[in-house]
Structure 1
Amino acid sequence: MKPLSSLRLDRRLTAIVFLLLGTQLSAQEHPSLFFTVAELPAIKENIASSEWMREAYEILIAQADEQLAYPPEPYAYRADDFPGYAFGGGGDWKKSGILGRILEKRVGTLGVAGYLSGDHRYFDKAIEVMVAAAEASEPEEWFSHLQHGDAARGYAIGYDLLYPHMDERERNIVREELEKVATLLYDYRGVWSRADPAVESQNHTAVHYGALGLCALAVGDKPQWQEKATDRIRAYVNRFVDSTGYGTEGVDYTNYGLLGVVPYAVALQRATGEDLVGEQPAMPLIPDQMVWKMLPWGKEVIAMNDNPTTLGSSAGLMYLISRYRLREALWAWLQIEGEAGGGFYGGGRPSHRGDNRPSIGDGLSLPFVLLWGDAGLEPRMPNARSHHFSSGRVFMRDGWGDSLGTQVSFTSGVDYHHAHNHSDENAFTFSALGEEFAIDPGRFPWNTRSHNTVLVNGIGQIRGYGRGRILEYEERDSAVYVKGDAREAFERDSSSFVLSQAQRQLLYVPGEQPYLLIVDDLQTEDKSVNEYTWLLHTDTSNTLEILPEKPGARIVGARRGALCDVDVLWPKTQGTVRESDLSDAYLPGVKNISDSDRRLAKHFRELSIKTSAVNPHFVTLLTARENGTTPPRVATAGNADRLEVRLSFSNGRQDTLVVTPENVRLTRTTSR
């Protein structure tokens, strides 16, 4: 048997012959899924022509160099490959949810780095990893179909990229493992194979069948795999976003779905001319969710539904940005992923290791960013003030490119997928002056109690299947107005109450001291007296001060010390304002997460306003201002049917708001 060094030399000689003579090593040309060797010069020139792409390339090489240090054979997934991820099965690595993504990321990173750099060490290590992984376990032992999908992408991408650099024994090992896992995907008859809108709109469908399609194209002789994959990916593409491009699973899960769709769609179009992406007219609009959820200081997005504040594997977004020449989306992507943001350029979210490295557990992304990025596309800052997504989300801002700017979100809509939906209809967020004053709690706290909305007798909305509606949305001269209806989000057959009304109005007024006026009207069908609890959640590092002189509170931001005054304008006397004691409060009904993650105190601090009434008629004012500045004087007149609110600012401006259950009207005067 030849020593390892001789085997590597033979592979390099084979590769040189292939590169120089263009010899076709099999009936299926490799690499071909995403590029051929003949296309490499143009790809390299494109990367070299862009400063941000050159920086991204350096990160790719650094990641590939890190993979070179990975222990040699025998290959095994180790506990430190899964930092921050729970193991099932008593610590069995085969039960980890990110097993397949680790393989895909290692092999894809090394393989693409090898072609872009010309360094054959990367090919050698990628082959070592892929072959050893194939020999380490059987796909039937893995945790679920998602691991099968992730790993199948890894084997398909690796088989295509590394085919010219493998010997026949290695090709056979990899192809055999590829066929095993792809057969599992093809023969699957579980929930994710069903022709059902709730199934076809969820990322599981894309991950599962996009991987099957890549396997079909990689081996070239499995038309039945390709046919099934194409049908299922087409179903997902037609279901997973609304008419305005909003993926209702949220940014991170939409990106994970795109990781299943786009690589297969690109490879399929290259092989056959069939364009799955082009069949969905909303595809050019998908990056808008990232744009509008981006926090004013960049780097992060609002966490809504089961999503973190990161983009996850964002190469699919880059493909859409480049294909449709979306300059504003490129600007936002660079604010989040570029040097000014996280600095990983799509290479993954920050690691749980706390060392400012990207997580190994994200899907393959950075190599695709380099393959799909367009050096000729110049970023452009957006200029719109607000945006309404048709499935029921409204985002509002006072501008772009200012880390002290304001961002407001309002959600009341439908989630096509259900599984990742939080019970948060009519909820809002508010960031201003560099602070997160009213937050969405993120991944785990799914219940209504954890969102900025209202409980009835301590009861929240239906889990997963609740829905709301945007009744009105209007950009006005000095404000943005939105009204939502969350009545259908509450259980209709509840023995304790049935709501006839659950409307919230929100008026956002930008300015040096931006403010929100929030009006809530809720009532049961029997018009009985109930206990209503108005909730606001702020960042755990912020400080909450309950004001003794009036019904209200003050939030002191932890980033810069900026303030948010919370004035309870109605009810005037019977309302109770307090900070909740969360020391013994836990998230209900959640499995497979730690007790620490179930503790509500880990995720937010909570302000509540309680009242008992037929209709609470909550009217609440949130005003952001710099510490040390004079807040507006607030005066009210009237009653819950027609309340006049007058804000007098120190610069002589006076805003008068007329609040009714139907609308909020603003007029402005100035004495200077």
Structure 2
Amino acid sequence: MRFALLSIIGGVSLSLAASAQQPLLSFSDARRQQLREHPEYVNLLKKADGYLKARPMTVDDLKPSGRDTKHSTTAFPHVVGRRLNDWSEALGFAWVGSGDERYAEKGIELLCGTLANFPVAQPYVLKGFAGGRGDIMRGIAIGYGFFAGAMTPEQRDQVAVVSEAYVDNFLSEADNPKIWWHGIHNYNGVCGGAAGLLTMAFADYPGIASKQGECIRIMKRWFDVSIDSEGAYVEGAGYSQYGLSNSLLFAWLLRERGGEDLFKHPHVKQLPRFYAQSLLPGTNIMDARNDSNYGRVNRECLLLALANRDGLAAWLWETSGVDAYPYSVIFGDDLPPSTPPTGLLPLHQHFPDRGLCVWRSGWSDRDVMFSTEAGPYYPTTHNQGDKGHFTLYAYGQNWAVDTGYGNDSHFEDSRCHTQAHNCVLIDGKGQARSGNGHGTNGTIVAYNGEAPGGYALADCTEAYQKNNRGMPGAGAELALRHHLYVQPEQGAPAYAVVFDDIRKDAAEHRYTWQMLTWGNVAIDTRPNGALFRNKHRPEGESYAWTPVGKLDPSKPLSASAAAATGSCSWEFETAAAGDWYLWGLVRAMGVDNGKSDSFVVQIDEQAPIDWHMPGNRTWNWAQVTTGVTDKTPWRVTLPAGKHRLRFMTREPEAALSMVVLTRDAEALLPPQDGDSEHIGLRVDHAEVAGGMVRRQVADESAALSRLLLAVDAAAPLAAPVVDAFRPTDGRQPAHFPRFGIDTTAVNPLFVAVLVPLPGEQAEPAVGFARSADAVEITVTWPTHRDVIRWHPANREKPSFTRQ
């Protein structure tokens, strides 16, 4: 096939050939030049070149794997759709940038060939998850949008017939109340947005194009019921992103063509508030809740910033967003002025439809964030046994954490269960089964955000009794959890107090108060609590970093320029030839941690790589990888003998303490002494040159932050126990240290005081005094004393006074 490039008439069709319809996406000459000039363009072409060897998917390519065969089978449409989308995007954008006809030829082959094997009636597709059909529709829309003008009429008709069947299938299910995902589930956005894209891509096929209004109606209905008036998505931040990935792309193109502006929907406009309140202080990561993982802001904030001229969305994108290339070239970069949340948003917020309460002292790595959740279950959405579960983040460290996505509750070690959350267990059991279409109800009975003591009362009783299908939990006549958040004042940091009024029945039972923390935290137990501290600190006496002002922004980021700017290097020796993998103990120390999280790495004279390490505020081990978003462990083949390893400046304030080279390709953490063959290299023994400097660990205080936990109960407490929650689902993180403390009582009336402390802050004295009907907690600081009184029988907010 030979294809001719279109001349530019307000934009260049991505099909790059004459077409009777408006292209799905379009470029101007300037945009195409931006596509080519972007640093990731080389990687885009590499990916497209790799896909030149691909062949259309067949049913034989889909084989159940892992311990959950049924789930693997129903997820097959996701596999097909996402691979089709990856092919379409990489080959299509590569064709736009290069004009190389091989990309178009392969794109048409993969699109037509795969759809011949996977029409909507194919059993795996029809019986699989509906979201997978949304993925397939998106892949078709993008592929056809790129390659339609280069197809034969027969090929276009073939794809149109398949596409119309997919759209009809979606519309029939989306309007059927008996379908389990009807109305509120993220599949409405995934499928509705993708079906809308098809109505645009096939504008010259009336049977498809005429259904655009129905797609818009379903999208608006989803916005109405799944996002509350404050902007909170009922399934959590991660699933909002999945649902919005297709729907906001559709909304953008609809708006660009003069159609209805879905960005003006009042709930959609509030989304940036929800994302900002979900950010962990000092990071670009959003809290993991309601079966969502920890994750970064995605391109939905870029689109919201551009479409609504929203300064908060622009701030989220600039400080937290993942590079949206190559789509960012289409959307443009005309962002409104960035508006940080400090001073714009309150330091507390209740999302009532979601049942989520958040309090914070700010958004920097010197701030504290405390939250709890106890909301209703919306059938059928993602859910976990976590009503009353709290999280706490402070000074750049994850202290009380969520274990993230599970949705495999039929396994005993699922992250869905209460055993994986910061809740109370009764005789070792928790709330009723959640996940896989099951869910429990909770209620925020009372809420107050004002200083000095923000407050929320969560009623979790029903969650311990049963789920939406009547399946029992541990059972409880009463399960109330009071949360008190104390704002920082008079030199004392913010802290939280959690009170549990929980009773199974009139008999005594074993109650366990538990809290899970991050893998880099060590727990030093005490008789009635513990001290939590970050165990991943700089190794040795020093670390290397490049202070602000030492980096010359005019120099290109070549290896030679990076080495001239700053370097940390070691000479080491290997006994035999082989492959090696690298791990680094690193920290992003800049004000904008997303711009202080990379090095240039080189061994001997081999080609250097840009390592985009995690942008964590605290010291963490991370594997050295290639790529920005699609990260691959860096494998280095070395002969026996002496070698030189260089970590060179790429961004200021990226810090390095130690490097480990290991032969173990499957290592999940850097090896320790006695493990497989490895080489450890500390900065203490490195050659540090140029703008990179050696800094003494004694000068570092932020990494010394810790968390004081003091627990009291109405009956004697057993000795604390520290174990680990280890889900075997293959996802990361796969290890969460867990603190637990037991008592045997009719009602334990637990009180837990959680005090995060910055490095320079001395511990307060925490005391408990109980009477027949009350408990008094005192937290004594050098300058004052806080007194908190709780009368459980009153079911009222605990009183707080500062003396």
Q: Does TM, normalized by the shorter one, top 0.5? A: yes
Per the alignment, residue 514 of structure 2 pairs with: 535
Q: Which position in structure 2 is the counterpart of 1:67?
A: 48
Cα displacement string for residues 289-322 of structure 1 (whole angstroms, at most 9, x for unaligned residues)? 221221223232211122221247x223322222
The structural deviation recorded for 1:426 is: 0.8
Question: What SS does the corresponding residue of 1:111 show, helix, strand or coil?
Answer: helix
Amino acid across the alignment from 1:242: D
What is the deviation of 1:126?
4.6
* Matched residue, 1:299: 284
Query: What is the letter of the counterpart of residue 193 of structure 2?
Result: G
Question: Residue 273 of structure 2 corresponds to which residue in structure 1?
Answer: 288
Distance 1:246 1:21, change over 3 A: closer
> Please, what is the CA RMSD of the aligned residues?
3.7
Quick check: 2:236–2:291 contact (8 Å CA) kept in 1?
A: yes
Aligned residue number for residue 159 of structure 2: 177
Q: Residues 519 and 90 from structure 1, CA distance in 2 versus in 1: closer, same or farther, beyond 3 angstroms?
A: closer
State which of 399, 409, 420 in structure 1 corresponds to 2:362: 399
Per the alignment, residue 623 of structure 2 pairs with none
SS of the aligned residue for 2:720 comes to strand
Q: 1:331 to 1:265 in 2, by over 3 A?
A: closer
CA distance in 1, matches of 2:66, 2:225: 30
**SS of structure 2 residue aligned to 1:264:** helix
* Local SS of the residue matching 1:206: helix
The percent identity for this pair of structures is 23
> 1:132 and 1:505, CA in 2 relative to 1: closer, same or farther beyond 3 A?
closer
CA distance in 1, matches of 2:486, 2:500: 15
Q: Aligned partners of 1:515, 1:98: CA distance in 2, in Å?
A: 45
Task: Give the alignment partner of residue 500 of structure 2, picking from 520, 526, 531.
Answer: 520
| C-alpha distance in structure 2 between counterparts of 1:496 and 1:258, whole Å | 36
* AA aligned opposite 1:15: L
Change (3 A) 1:496 1:321: closer
Which stretch shows the higher mean deviation, 129-138 or 281-290?
129-138
Q: What pairs up with 1:326-475 in 2 under 5 angstroms?
A: 326-337=310-321, 344-346=322-324, 366-383=325-342, 384-391=346-353, 392-400=355-363, 402-444=364-406, 445-462=415-432, 463=434, 464-475=438-449
Equivalent positions of 1:67-216 (< 5 A) are 67-72=48-53, 74-75=55-56, 95=76, 97-112=78-93, 115=96, 117=97, 119-121=98-100, 124-136=102-114, 137-139=117-119, 140=122, 142-143=124-125, 144=128, 145-164=130-149, 166-168=150-152, 172-187=154-169, 193-195=175-177, 199-216=182-199
Match of 1:487 in 2: 461
Relative to its length, the structure with more strand (as a share) is: 2
Contact 1:441–1:603 (Cα < 8 Å) also in 2:
no
Q: Distance in 2 between the 1:239 and 1:133 partners?
A: 35
* Shift in alpha-carbon separation, 1:435–1:236, aligned structure 2, 3 A: same
Change (3 A) 1:296 1:660: same
Pick one of 10, 20, 26 that aligns with 1:27.
Answer: 20
Matches within 5 A, 1:566-645: 566-571=709-714, 574-582=716-724, 602-626=734-758, 629-639=761-771, 641-645=773-777
State the Cα distance separating 1:232 from its structure 2 match: 2.7
Q: In structure 2, give the amino acid aligned to 1:28.
A: Q
Query: What's the secondary structure of 1:216's corresponding residue?
Result: helix
1:664 alignment partner in structure 2: 798
> How far did 1:533 drift?
1.8
- Offset, 1:60: 5.4
Tell me the equivalent position of 2:308.
324
**Unpaired segments ≥5 residues, structure 1:** 1-6, 49-53, 338-343, 347-365, 588-593
Contact 2:237 2:275 in 1 (8 A): yes
2:286 partner SS: coil
* 1:415 CA displacement: 4.1
Cα distance in 2 between the residues matched to 1:299 and 1:80: 37
Aligned to 2:294: 309
Cα distance 1:310–1:85, how it changes in 2: closer, same or farther (>3 A)?
Answer: farther
Aligned residue pair count:
598
Q: Following the alignment from structure 2 to structure 1, what is the Cα–Cα distance between the partners of residues 66 and 285?
A: 22
The amino acid that maps onto 2:497 is L
TM-score, with length taken from structure 1: 0.79
Post-superposition offset of 1:244: 1.2
Q: Secondary structure at the match of 1:458?
A: coil
Counterparts in 2 of 1:19 and 1:131: CA distance versus 1, 3 Å: farther
1:410 touches 1:427 (CA, 8 Å); kept in 2? yes
Amino acid at match of 2:243: G
Distance 1:579 1:130, change over 3 A: farther
| Per-residue Cα deviation, 1:588-608 (whole angstroms, up to 9, x for no partner) | xxxxxx55559xx93412111
Q: Answer whether contact 1:109 1:367 (CA < 8 A) is retained.
A: no
Code of the residue aligned with 1:459 in structure 2: it is K
Residues 1:86 and 1:74: Cα distance change in structure 2 (over 3 Å): farther
Moved more, 536-545 or 174-183: 174-183
In 1, distance between residues paired with 2:138 and 2:474?
A: 50
How many angstroms does 1:75 deviate by? 4.7
- Deviation sequence 1:222-255 (CA, Å, 0-9, x none): 2454344334323322221112111111112111
2:509, 2:245 → 1: CA distance? 47
Residue 337 of structure 2 aligns with an amino acid whose one-letter code is E
CA displacement, residues 416-469 of structure 1 (integer Å, 9 cap, x when unaligned): 354311111111111112211110011120111111111233332232321222
Distance 1:90 1:281 in 2: 36
Q: For the residues of structure 2 that align with 1:87 and 1:179, how far apart are their CA atoms?
A: 34
- Give the unaligned 5+ runs of structure 2: 407-414, 536-618, 620-702
For 1:151 and 1:266, locate their aligned partners in 2 and report how far apart those are by CA, in whole Å: 20
2:202 to 201, 213, 219: 219
Deviations 1:182-230 (A, max 9, x none): 4134135886552369621111122223222222221122245434433
Corresponding residue for 1:655?
Answer: 786
Q: 1:555 aligns with which of 524, 532, 546?
A: 532
Q: C-alpha deviations, 1:444-496, integer Å up to 9, x for none?
A: 20111111111233332232321222222223333422222112222257597
Taking the aligned partners of 1:640 and 1:98, their CA distance within structure 2 comes to: 60
- Give how far 1:410 is off: 1.1
What is the letter of the counterpart of residue 522 of structure 1?
I
8 Å Cα contact 1:206/1:260 also seen in 2: yes
For residue 89 of structure 2, what is the amino acid of its counterpart? Answer: G
Which residue identity does 2:706 align to in structure 1? L
Confirm or deny: 8 A CA contact 1:212 1:229 kept in the other structure.
yes
Q: Which residue of 1 is the match for residue 480 of structure 2?
A: 502
Residues 1:259 and 2:401 are matched in the alignment: no
